[in-house]
Amino acid sequence: MESSHIALPSTQLLVHPLCLGTNVMGYTSSKDESFAVLDAYAAHGGNFVDTADMYSEWAPGNSGHDSEAIIGAWMKQKGNRDQMIIATKVSKLSTRPGLSATNIKAAVEESLTSLQTDYIDIYYAHADDETVPLTETLQAFTDLITAGKVRYIAASNYSGARLQEAIDISKANGLSQYTGVQNLYNLLDRNEYESDVVKVIENNGLWGAPYYGLAKGFLSGKYAPGVTVESARAAGTVDYQNDRGWAVIEALRDIAKSHGCSVSAVSLAWLRAQRGVTTPIASARIASQLEEIVQVVELSGDELAQLTTLSQLSN
């Protein structure tokens, strides 16, 4: 089930079909566990790692840049910075909020320090900031690209309308453009992405890297009616635990059995097959979980249609 790298549209980057999310690193995944996950991912040819300055500020004793620091230490130990595609984000860390030019300029330096690198491959606006003119934000990002501190920029949690407006402003003013989109999308969270953002992705030749590809772990198959799952994210899956969710899980299990792969691999395979999606994001707390999500399988048209139909109900 090893898979070759794929091109990220509007960039010169080649990435693994799974983007490794790291919001658990420095939170439920210790430094040693995180290193083991990163080692396992790299052993499969994995090279696309997604983090943010605010990961994992929410954990007791943390102040932000915790995930970045683990990734930076790992790359330094391995001496493999040039082999990795590192994406991080700005605007949601409590000490560096928003997308003003001043904040972006300061935030990038903090992230570069945490990552122990002098450049970031993809720098995301982590959330839209309507208090700052898009021109100011895009000019600040352009300056970082000109300075060689950032290679490409992307947007996360933008509406389709705001994303298109940002792209139009970039074109009109000769500024760097967002190349990709990271919004919520999975089998059980479909409406917003499919009805709004995907059209902008397709119309502008962007790439899509949806987050929560496994719906906070629900689509990994470890949940079942009446089963208590010991996980820091278990409470976040309550809204999926209904007739629709269980029907999707049952189908995922059947398909996984026929392919001889994990339930997670089937969930991510469905996501990869959707319009506008280049590579989904999923995280692993320990190396054994990484082995489940890194499997790349291809589903038949009938299998895709079955999952699409079962998950069609309004969410």
Q: How far, in Å, CA of 102 to CA of 140, rounded? A: 8
Structure tokens at 182: 């990271």
Distance CA(183)–CA(207), nearest Å, equals 11
CB 180 within 8 A of CB 207: yes
What's the number of CA atoms in the CB half-sphere (13 Å) around residue 56?
Answer: 17
Give pTM, 2 decimals: 0.95
Q: Please compute the mean of the pLDDT values over residues 231-260 and round it to a whole number.
A: 91
As a whole-number percent, the residues of the chain with pLDDT over 70 amount to 97
Indicate the range of 67-71, 131-135, 180-184, 237-241 predicted with least confidence.
237-241
Q: In 52-109, at which residue ranges do the beta strands (DSSP E only) sit?
A: 85-90, 92-93, 96-97
Q: With pLDDT > 90 as the criterion, what percentage of the chain qualifies?
A: 92
The answer to whether the CB of 114 falls within 8 A of the CB of 145 is no
Averaged pLDDT for residues 155-175: 98
Q: Summarize pLDDT for 198-215 with one digit per residue, the tens.
A: 999 999 999 999 999 999
d(CA 24, CA 46): 18
pLDDT score, position 315: 45
Top CATH class, 6-217+274-295: alpha beta
Question: 96-97 and 120-125 as β-strands: parallel, antiparallel, unpaired?
Answer: unpaired
C-beta of residue 90 within 8 angstroms of C-beta of residue 124: yes
- The helix or strand, by DSSP H or E, that contains position 84, with its residue range, turns out to be none
Q: What is the mean pLDDT of the chain?
A: 95
60-64, 69-73, 119-123, range with the lowest pLDDT: 60-64
pLDDT at residue 91, as a whole number: 98
pLDDT, mean of residues 285-290: 96
Q: Considering only 1-5, 121-125, 160-164, 212-216, which range has the smallest mean pLDDT?
A: 1-5
- CA angle, 195 then 87 then 206, to 5°: 35
Phi-psi region of 212 (alpha: psi -120 to 50; beta: other; left: phi over 0): left
- Whether the per-residue pLDDT at 1 is higher than 50: the answer is no
What is the pLDDT at residue 3? 66
What order of strands is seen across the sheet that includes strand 150-156? Answer: 207-208, 178-182, 150-156, 120-125, 85-90, 48-50, 19-21, 281-283
pLDDT at 146: 98
For the chain, how big is the Rg over CA atoms in Å? 19
pLDDT tens string 28-62: 999 999 999 999 999 999 999 999 999 999 999 99
Q: Decide if 182 contacts 155 (C-beta within 8 A).
A: yes
User: Which band of pLDDT confidence, cut at 50, 70 and 90, is reported for residue 235?
Assistant: confident
Per the CB < 8 A criterion, the answer to whether 178 and 167 are in contact is yes
Q: Residue 245: name the closest of 262, 220, 270, 265 by CA.
A: 220
